[in-house]
Each structure stands twice: as C-alpha cells, then as structure tokens.
C-alpha cells in the first residue's frame, strides 16, 4: 500500500483572501453610501421627478404631487436607516 503525502494547496488560501477582499470592498462601498446619505439626505421624488407638480394627461393643467406634497424631494433609504439607528440609540441611552 503506497503512502500518499498530504499537501496543502493554495486554493484554500486564495479563496479566503478573495473573501476578505470582497468583504473589505463591500464595507468601503457601504460606508461611502452612508456618508453620502448623511451629507445629502434628500433625493428627487420619483413620481414628479423633482418638480413637485403632476401634469394632467393632456399637459394643460397641473396639481401638486401627492407623494412629496409639492416639495419635489424624498428622504433617501440610507437616511431613513440612519434616522432609525439614531432614534434607537436615543431610546437606549435614556
């Protein structure tokens, strides 16, 4: 019966390094998005495209957008997350 030598392959090491690199990239992208949400909390309303007005189907008259109430802005999803985390922190430190 021949003896087989056990060797460590580089595939396991490479896959761990690749996963670590992917994790670091995702962390940087997430931190950049949250920083952008902190600096610029509002985006354009998707329904009225930031104008605050809704046109009639014929284009002759308009009314205020119901979704943004004529403001033309909406709160970004990341900013909603930051606000909820801040509220949770405030409740926890009372």
pLDDT tens track for 76-87? 888 998 899 999
**Residue 1 pLDDT level (bands cut at 50, 70, 90):** low
Quote the tokens at residue 39.
Answer: 């600096």
| Inter-residue contact 53 to 63 (CB < 8 Å) | yes
pLDDT tens track for 35-73? 998 899 998 888 888 777 777 777 677 778 888 888 888
Provide the terminal-to-terminal Cα distance of the chain, rounded to the nearest Å. Answer: 72
Domain boundaries, the chain: 12-92
Does residue 75 register a pLDDT over 70? yes
pLDDT tens track for 18-36? 888 999 999 999 999 989 9
Distance CA 36, CA 28 (A): 12
The model's pTM:
0.61
| Residues contacting residue 64 through CB under 8 Å, at least 6 positions apart | 52, 53, 54, 70
Query: pLDDT at position 28, please?
Result: 97
3-state secondary structure of 54: strand
**Residue 9 pLDDT level (bands cut at 50, 70, 90):** low
How many C-beta atoms lie closer than 10 Å to residue 48's C-beta? Answer: 21
């Amino acid at each position: 019966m021949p003896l087989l030598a056990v060797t460590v392959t580089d595939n396991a090491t490479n896959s761990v390094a690749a996963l670590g690199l992917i994790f670091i990239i995702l962390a940087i992208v997430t931190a950049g998005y949250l920083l952008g949400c902190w600096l610029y909390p509002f985006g354009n309303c998707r329904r009225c495209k930031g104008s605050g007005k809704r046109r009639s189907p014929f284009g002759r008259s308009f009314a205020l957008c119901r979704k943004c109430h004529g403001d033309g802005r909406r709160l970004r999803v990341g900013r909603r997350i930051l606000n909820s985390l801040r509220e949770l922190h405030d409740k926890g430190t009372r």
